[in-house]
Structure 1
Amino acid sequence: MSGWLNPLFVKPKKETAQRSSSQIEPAATSAATTPSTSAEGALPSAPNSSPGLPPVLGSAIHWSQTYDVCVCHSPVDIKEAICLVSYLENPSRGLRCFLQHRDANLGGAIATEICQAVQSSHCCALLITPNFLLDDWCHYMIHQALSEGPMSKLIIPLVFNLSHAQYPHALRFYHYKDLSKNPERGYTQVYKTVLKYLEDMVEKSSAFS
């Protein structure tokens, strides 16, 4: 795990229209910029995918949102959230994640920041722990994610040190991934799930074009 877990809250370097590093920055840094469109309502032109990355990460569908995964978590569970983000944003995987402590606008209203983060992400990963269940803003994140899906947003519930009986009733129709016993295996499942979702989106877009 130490091979891909980077120092906490270090600003990642940015390439053209792509965040390629897995390091973490403070909350003072604003969210990544959405790639511009050439015409109103049109998908942005897709930057070339880096060598070795799945082709779908170079697609216009992929770049139609600022982030691939909005990671929702309790502030108490920031270490676990950083582990997940560091894994997904590793240059060998190439995903873009929203992490509130790093990407939210300084001084912005929490409700507004959460709404914008969910709306500008392909997927929402809910890191559900006992701390998550005690946080009112985390419950708000659940309902915001549900309000955007399931048709337009992929919701990925992740449980950590949580019993089945504690699983939120609002998510009863969503199968969760348990990170408690083997976190890295769970991170791999999240990565594959996001890629499959993007591939399905590209396929559906091709079918209607």
Structure 2
Amino acid sequence: MLLGIGVILLVGAALGALARKLGQPKVLGEITAGIVLGPSLLGLFPGNLTERLFPDDVRPLLSAVSQVGLVLFMFVVGWEFEKRLIRPHARLAAGVSLSSIVLAFGLGVAAAVVLYPHHDTVAGKHISFLAFATFMGTAMSVTAFPVLARILTENKLMDTRVGALSLASAAIDDVLAWCLLAYVSALVSSDGDYAGLARIGRSASSMSR
């Protein structure tokens, strides 16, 4: 595990520095490091290097460490977030968030129209177009919130009006996207479209009580 963490930090730091030299955020280089060390690139070489470097019994530990790091980072972001910058512009943040969701969701539905005939069956189960289109729209609407927060922090924009507006809009996006994802899950696991809606309604009613 320690060897894996060391390799991840070294490769992430190297590619992060390279990204900065290219005028890009360091987080893009660190994401690229994950792709480089994963099966998408390193796994293509002979010798099963990814399995040797990150064995199956080590991956849950690395995942736990990464989750702890992410939680601590997001805690610091929330701790340093200047709410006074966004309070006068709450309506603007909501408007930006909703407009971005509508646009991204519409593009996802448009892509679903093209992709659905080739992906209407998953694991031997037929998926309705409504569920497929909703999932595609939701996937397009989700914001990479930690990545955005990292870019804003790195460029020292967290204390600015633009940074606070971006972060608030992304937070609203993610909340709505998770609600849509819950709908898709209920839709797929139910017998019909209206049954999925009824299940969500019953869950919301029980939570309110």
Shorter chain as denominator, the TM-score bin is under 0.3
Determine which structure has the larger helix proportion and give its number. Answer: 2
Q: Which has the larger radius of gyration?
A: 2
TM-score, normalized by length of structure 1? 0.25
Determine which structure has the larger strand proportion and give its number. Answer: 1
